[in-house]
Amino acid sequence: MHEVRFLIGDIVVTSQQLSNEDIAYILTRNENDVRKSAWKAAEQMVAIYAQRANISAGPIQVYNGQKFNQWKELADRLKQEYLHPNGAGYVLSDISAGAMANPDALGDTVLGGGDWHTILTRTGTGGGTLP
């Protein structure tokens, strides 16, 4: 349960968006797969914020549309990370042996998803490097 909360950023005890029961249910429905459950929990938050309007009362303004967008972006990222655990649908073996033998043909290639990126770059010596 705590892993799901961590992945969706719902870790502040005094303002948790989903109840423990909600997360337990999501985990059960997804065979206790933490990553899939985090994706589904974020989708649940998208559904919740889709129903809320922006509110303005004097100097107080609540922009639920922004929260909707934040949850939507998180849900989309978690979905991609779940469906493509090696990154944005690429794995190192997808790069042909010919391209690896000739780094100039490879150019700058970004592999990864979410906040994690592995970047293959050309160096001035013509050899490839992994930062």
pLDDT for 21-57, tens place per residue? 999 999 999 999 999 999 999 999 999 999 888 888 8
Q: How far apart are the first and last CA of the chain?
A: 34
Q: For residues 64 and 62, what is the distance between their CA atoms, to the nearest angstrom?
A: 6
Tell whether 77 and 98 lie within a shared domain: no
Query: Residue 42 burial by CB count (10 A; 0-12/13-18/19+): exposed, middle or buried?
Result: buried
Tell whether 9 and 72 lie within a shared domain: yes
- Map tokens 């991609």 to a residue: 80
The confidence score (pLDDT) of residue 64 equals 82
The boundaries of the domain holding residue 103 are: 92-129
Tell whether 20 and 70 lie within a shared domain: yes
| β partners of residue 117 | 112
CA distances, 93 to each of 3, 12, 25, 120, 125 (Å):
30, 40, 38, 13, 23
Number of structural domains (the chain) is: 2
CA-closest candidate to residue 8, choices 59, 74, 60, 93: 74
Tell whether 68 and 103 lie within a shared domain: no
Q: Which of 83, 102, 121 is the last residue of a domain?
A: 83
Tell whether 41 and 98 lie within a shared domain: no
The percentage of residues in the chain with a pLDDT greater than 70, rounded to a whole number, is 66
Tell whether 122 and 70 lie within a shared domain: no
